[in-house]
Amino acid sequence: MTAHIIRPLESLDYEFVSSAVDDWWGGRPVRALVHRIFFEHLNATSFAIGPSDDVQAFLIGFVSQSDPKVAYIHFVGVSPAARASGLARMLYEHFFKLVGARGCTEVRSITSVANTGSIAFHRKLGFTLLPGSAEIDGVPVTLNYAGEGQHRVLFHKAL
């Protein structure tokens, strides 16, 4: 079994990750949400598994500058071939430990309503779905959170 080593995300990872994510998200165009600045400026709280030319998994997160007790996970992605082996859980738990040591007491994240895999994953990791402005298929959603028609599910986890 391969040992999975979590390392800081770095600028060199940008090219591989940005060209892979639309495929990893099942064809959804998310590339524009994975900006180069995250790879350059969020290294202390963002991680990857695998070499820069073959990243297996990555997490982009940060500590809120508005409220230092809150940490936020912007993106997590695992290569389809590496899924269901605990990599995303490893990255999340690493993030929880790191931001907890920095004094954060809460982690937040969001996902799109259609991303049922992400909703199931976050529930498994102990996140609560925050009340929204509507319910779709029994799931609380905040309507137009990311622009007109862009509804999102908001997650919260106390550390």
Q: Residue numbers of the site for ligand COA (CB under 6 A)? A: 24-25, 75-78, 83-89, 111, 115, 117-118, 120-121, 124
Burial of residue 33, with CB atoms counted within 10 A of its CB: 0-12 exposed, 13-18 middle, 19 or more buried: middle
Q: Torsions phi, psi of 32, nearest 5? A: -65, -15
Is 88 or 104 the residue whose CB approaches ligand COA more closely?
88
Taking the complex as a whole, the smallest distance from the CB of residue 74 to ligand COA amounts, in Å, to 8
Q: Is 156 helix (H, G, I), strand (E, B) or coil?
A: strand
Is 87 or 113 the residue whose CB approaches ligand COA more closely?
87
Taking the complex as a whole, the smallest distance from the CB of residue 151 to ligand COA amounts, in Å, to 15
Taking the complex as a whole, the smallest distance from the CB of residue 152 to ligand COA amounts, in Å, to 11
> Minimal CA–CA distance to 43: which of 76, 13, 16?
13
Taking the complex as a whole, the smallest distance from the CB of residue 52 to ligand COA amounts, in Å, to 18
**Which residue sits closest to ligand COA, CB atoms considered?**
117
Helices (H), ranges, the chain: 14-24, 36-41, 87-101, 116-124
The helix/strand count (H/E) of the chain reads as 4, 9
Is 4 or 64 the residue whose CB approaches ligand COA more closely?
4
Is 33 or 44 the residue whose CB approaches ligand COA more closely?
33
